[in-house]
Amino acid sequence: MRSDVPLSELTTLAVGGPAERLVEVETAAELVAAVRDADESGRPLLLIGGGSNLIAPDEGWPGDVVAVRSRGIERTGDRLTVQAGEDWDALVAFTVENRLAGMEALSGIPGSTGATPVQNVGAYGQEVAQTITAVRVHDRHEKAERTLSPAECGFAYRDSRLKREPGRFVVLEVEFALEPSELSRPVGYAELARTLGVEIGERAPLADVREAVLGLRRGKGMVWDPADPDSRSAGSFFTNPIVPAERAVEGCPSWPAGEGLVKLSAAWLVQHSGFGRGTREGRVGTSSRHSLALTTEDGATAAELLAFADRIVATAQERFGVTLEREPTAVRP
Ligand SMILES: Cc1cc2nc3c(=O)[nH]c(=O)nc-3n(C[C@H](O)[C@H](O)[C@H](O)COP(=O)(O)OP(=O)(O)OC[C@H]3O[C@@H](n4cnc5c(N)ncnc54)[C@H](O)[C@@H]3O)c2cc1C
């Protein structure tokens, strides 16, 4: 246990005041014990993995911050049981090396495996809901361990029950079922298909897909790298809004999103609200390579970042009548 550790050192956005108590856990049993200890003594609890999808409060955390560092990948045939603290991209690399298809397009996403079911992490045509078969959790309401089926996880676009019931479920391990194959799952994203020189729906060697995704992501500052100021972000700051088809915005790229619905490009909406790439306001702004990533500079605060995001939301609402929803969680005790 360490005291007064700045949350800015534990998050990719590098904002946030001190954690009163930082507890690092290395096994699922230690994780459950740390959560029970905080709950029994009434101290506010914050779980943190890679800190790549949260905005930590400037006033810090008046309680326990539990950093999930449990590691381990267990393979049984085409099934993997993965500890919550396992690095996500290391897991994707493992699947590619072991000729298991299903998560190759999710290469290069920072953070821990245990956080991936929370917002149903997705990119380049894949999302974790396609391969998750079970999520082992500690349920803080029931004070017991449970296994959630995919249906019980309630996965949706960048969303799940774990996100909708914040603080309730502590992910201990995640189980995935993959396809034994040297080829990827059918490529479902136009930009990736173009880069690979295949048609949408075709397959490509797993390693080629991983390299292509990493290349595309690096070009956009979407691979976490302390030396790259454009990656000092939480990835996409807003989700792509889903609206009735008749409310599609002229000129804005869109994709079908279920009956009568379309998904609009949040990047386009941000850019056409006057916040194109490289817009800076003080110590915060948009990345110079992607309008959807908000980035911070040394000394920036969560309040500055959230105020900047609020200006983007208000302008998009005024110009296009569309509400941009924030993707990373602004955690509060
Ligand atoms: C450069 C960059 C690119 C990114 N690209 C993508 C992308 O392409 N697609 C995408 O979906 N996301 C992307 N992200 C966002 C982020 O990487 C993912 O959401 C990732 O899964 C977060 O993992 P983490 O361990 O860092 O979570 P954290 O930021 O530590 O936590 C996120 C939330 O999950 C909770 N949490 C963490 N661990 C647990 C646990 N074990 N049990 C229960 N709750 C938990 C936290 O309390 C918090 O509410 C990107 C981020 C960055 C910085």
Cα 329 to middle of ligand 1, angstroms: 9
pLDDT in tens, 12-69: 999 999 999 999 999 999 999 999 999 999 999 999 999 999 999 999 999 999 999 9
What is the arrangement of strands in the sheet containing 2-6, beginning at the earlier edge strand? 2-6, 18-25, 61-68, 45-48
Do residue 78 and residue 170 come from a single domain?
yes
Whole-model pTM: value is 0.97
d(CA 247, ligand 1 centre) in Å: 31
Catalytic site residue from 21, 69, 136, 158: 158
Domains held by the chain: number? 3
Are 61 and 79 in a shared domain?
A: no
Average pLDDT over residues 61-84: 98
Q: Are residues 147 and 50 in the same domain?
A: no
| For range 238-245, the mean pLDDT | 97
- Average pLDDT estimate for 239-267: 96
Query: Which of 183, 190, 236 minimizes the C-alpha distance to 207?
Result: 183
Same domain (yes/no): 235, 162: no
Do residues 238 and 301 both lie within one domain?
yes
What's the whole-number mean pLDDT along residues 87-106?
98
Q: Which residues does ligand 1 sit against, CB inside 6 Å?
A: 12, 47-54, 68, 84, 109-112, 114-116, 118-119, 121-123, 169-171, 222, 224, 231, 233-235, 329, 331
Q: Is residue 157 part of a domain?
A: yes
Give the CATH number, domain containing residue 315: 3.90.78.10
In this structure, which residue's CA is closest to atom 23 in ligand 1?
Answer: 111
Mark whether 235 and 286 lie in a shared domain: yes
Encoded tokens for 52: 């790549």
CATH number of the structural domain spanning residue 32:
3.30.43.10
Are residues 26 and 97 located together in one domain of the fold?
A: no
**Residue-wise burial string across 117-135, b where 16 or more C-beta atoms lie within 10 A, e elsewhere:** bbbbbbbbbbbbbbbbebb
Mean pLDDT of 225-229: 94
Are residues 157 and 80 both part of a single domain? yes
What is the mean pLDDT of the segment spanning 1-19? 96
Q: Is 90 exceeded by the pLDDT of residue 331?
A: yes
The alpha carbon torsion through 180, 184, 188, 194 (nearest 10 deg) reads -170
Tokens of 276: 């194109």
Instruction: Indicate the residue among 68, 103, 122 that finishes a domain.
Output: 68
Q: Is the pLDDT of residue 250 over 90?
A: yes
What's the 116 CA to ligand 1 centre distance in angstroms?
A: 6
Cα–Cα distance for residue pair 171/269, rounded to 1 Å: 34
Residue nearest to atom 12 of ligand 1 (CA): 121
Residue 83 lies in domain: 73-180
User: Residues 172-211: pLDDT tens digits?
Assistant: 999 999 999 999 999 999 999 999 999 999 999 999 999 9
Give the list of residues 6+ apart from residue 259 with CB closer than 8 angstroms, or none: none
Question: Does residue 294 lie within any of the structural domains?
Answer: yes
Q: Is residue 128 part of a domain?
A: yes
User: What is the overall mean pLDDT for the chain?
Assistant: 97
Nearest atom (ligand 1) to Cα of 166:
49
- Ligand 1 atom with the shortest distance to the CA of 169: 43
* Rounded distance between C-alpha atoms, residue 203 and residue 191, angstroms: 14
pLDDT at 183: 98
Examine the domain organization and report whether 237 and 290 are in the same domain.
Answer: yes
Termini Cα distance of the chain:
19
In this prediction, residue 1 carries a pLDDT of 87
- Catalytic annotation present for 236: yes
Q: Which of 63, 56, 69 is nearest to 16 (CA)?
A: 56
Instruction: Choose the final residue of a domain: 19, 41, 68.
Output: 68
Q: Is the pLDDT of residue 149 over 90?
A: yes
Dihedral angle of Cα 200, 277, 301, 241, to the nearest 10 degrees: -40
pLDDT of residue 44: 97
